Chains A and B, each alone.
Chain A
Amino acid sequence: MKTFIFKDTPCAKAQPGQFLMLWIPGVDEIPLSILDADEDGLVSVAVKKVGEATRALHGAKVGDILGVRGPFGNSFAMVKGKGLMVAGGTGTAPLFFLAKRLMPRMVRGVFVLGAKTKGELLFMNQLGQILGEDRTHLVTSTEDGSCGVTGLCTELVEQILAKERFNIIYACGPEKMIRRVFELAERHQTNLEASLERLMRCAIGLCGSCTIGKYRVCTDGPIFTSKQLREVKTEFGNSKRDPTGRKISLD
């Protein structure tokens, strides 16, 4: 995982949850959640090496030129009461941005950070600084037990929701994880806002590559409410479309 910081005036005005399209000239253009943005015009994204484009990005040097389109999509609702944020793996990026902006205004914020291993728990130190001294504010889980609770972060969420009520839950991560968080939120009658991911091409709501049910993830999302997620229940957590437009299983 590498963090990239660059200057882009439009994206520096982005709200937590929005994404941008990053062009690596001559290689590809990929959607990335915005990790941070500030008044000085600086924008950051976190990139994991997963394919051709991200490999090329990891090889980029300071001063290399990238193309940026954005910001695109909607953003998280800024709910000031008690909030629970659930981040899995690389899904941490938009929730990091949200926590940074929202935490100072929240009555109480709890951040559940989960990954397969300790090395994949992202921004743990920075999140610790944002969330403050109270150790109940940041809880971690790893599947291999190398840090925090052993197991899936959704098991932690289940325990937390059994003890405490929240005004809102925010989630981003693998879609199966989000689906589980959705079911827990439904059981506890708590509103959820989740960030979804689909194949992204035009990013402006025209090409139809990123649809889930009647929604386009690029323009109607990427943040979806409990109400919207109920409407797309057959696809949410189960299927997506491949580059040909064919529906395929999420696994």
Chain B
Amino acid sequence: MGLKENVLTVNLAGLQLANPTVLASGILGYSTETLENLVKGGAGAVVTKSIGLKPREGYANPTVVQASCGLINAMGLPNPGIDEYAEEFHRTRVVLDVPLILSIYGYAAEEYATLAKKATAAGADAVELNVSCPHVKDTGSEIGQSPEALTEVVKKVRTSISKPIFVKLSPNVASVADLAEVAAQAGADGLTIMNTVKAMAIDVETATPILGNKVGGLSGPAIKPVALRCVYEAYERVKIPIMGCGGIADWRDAVEFLLAGASAVQIGTAISFRGPNVFRSVAIGIGRYLESKHFGKVEEIVGLSHRS
């Protein structure tokens, strides 16, 4: 592709990424082989599905429903539990040579701390705290919406591990920037902005909410402008790196997020319509953009839109 090798490399809170595209949590995240497929597709790092202390089955179908320019999902955090998953993850660690970020969710600060310890012991390079799942009671956004609960969780995890901590924030709050600041002050090394937007769909023929859980989270192109605004606002308030997440499907979306202040971008829903190679195509597009504008590194354009 004729790009200088290190144009796309990114240092993200100490993690070295060959390019700034990252698999978003919740997508195809259990098995080594499926993650390997996405790394072959060009992902510079991966975030696993969210893992809790105990196995969880998730909600009854329908767990996904299509919306205009997006998808609403309420999977309900299905996962095999950290002890079972650690066995699979050891193998993933051996097979994949990109940074592996293990997403964790808990119902109390101690649980997040225990999970973080187990995750790093299993070989995770970093953890991402899911404090923003919009559809499971007593965890996720119920923690991420409260400055006090968020502070307690991040502080507790901070004392339990030395590896980087990313906090995935919810858009379902009055000000994402306020909570970004709270997370940074509590000791987070980086932020993922943002999780899905709380949403629902109703079938008019039967007057029934479609999702098994009735409400879920909207992802995909529909939420990109919202996510972009959240990243832009948070960048003005915190110094720690931000991973932009929400509706990114091509290089132009990705560059918008970098210009807004993201140091890397997460991709999820777009895999369903662009396939695993979406990562490579976005990375190449970012590289071409940098070259055409005579930039030498990704970091040179991070937050560039704030100068005006």
Contacts and interface: CB of A to CB of B under 8 A. Distances in A.
Given A25-B203, A28-B61, A206-B271, A214 B28 contact: no
Interface string B26-62: 1111110110110000000000010000011110111
Interface in B240-280: 268-269, 271-272
Interface residues of A, number: 29
Contact of A213 (B33, B57, B73): B33
Interface stretch (B4-12, B74-82, B227-235): B74-82
A243 B58 contact: yes
Contacts of A246: 55, 80, 84
B216 to A, nearest CB: 11
A25 B84 contact: no
Contacts of B161: none
B138 interface: no
A29 B61 contact: yes
B212 interface: yes
B208 A26 contact: yes
Contact of B30 (A25, A26, A69, A208): A208
Given A207-B75, A246-B80, A23 B210 contact: yes
A201 B36 CA distance: 21
Given A208-B30, A211-B28, A216-B34, A203 B78 contact: no
Contacts of A211: 28, 30-31, 33-34
Contact of A243 (B33, B36, B78): B78
A69 to B, nearest CB: 8
A59 interface: no
Contacts of B114: none
Nearest to B206: A25
A238 to B, nearest CB: 15
A114 to B, nearest CB: 30
Contacts of A214: 33-34, 36-37
A44 interface: no
A72 to B, nearest CB: 11
A91 B55 CA distance: 31
A208 B84 contact: no
A245 B78 contact: yes
Interface of A is mostly: loop
Contacts of B29: 208
A204 B61 CA distance: 14
Contact of B57 (A23, A69, A206, A244): A244
Identify the interface centre among A205, A206, A214, A245: most chain B CB within 10 Å of its CB.
A245
B10 to A, nearest CB: 25
A30 B61 contact: yes
Contact of A206 (B28, B55, B58, B210): B28
B180 to A, nearest CB: 27
Given A244-B55, A244-B81, A206 B268 contact: yes
Contacts of A205: 28, 271-272
Interface in B100-155: none
B212 A65 contact: no
Nearest to A200: B61
Nearest to A205: B272
Interface in B64-87: 64, 66, 71, 73, 75, 78-81, 84-85
Interface string A175-214: 0000000000000000000000000011111111101011
A79 to B, nearest CB: 27
A100 interface: no
B46 to A, nearest CB: 12
14 contacts: A21-B62, A25-B208, A29-B61, A29-B62, A67-B62, A202-B63, A202-B75, A202-B272, A207-B73, A208-B34, A211-B31, A211-B34, A216-B28, A245-B85
Given A244-B80, A246-B84, 17 more contacts: A23-B61, A29-B61, A29-B212, A201-B64, A202-B64, A202-B75, A203-B64, A204-B272, A205-B28, A206-B64, A206-B73, A211-B31, A214-B33, A214-B36, A216-B28, A245-B85, A246-B55
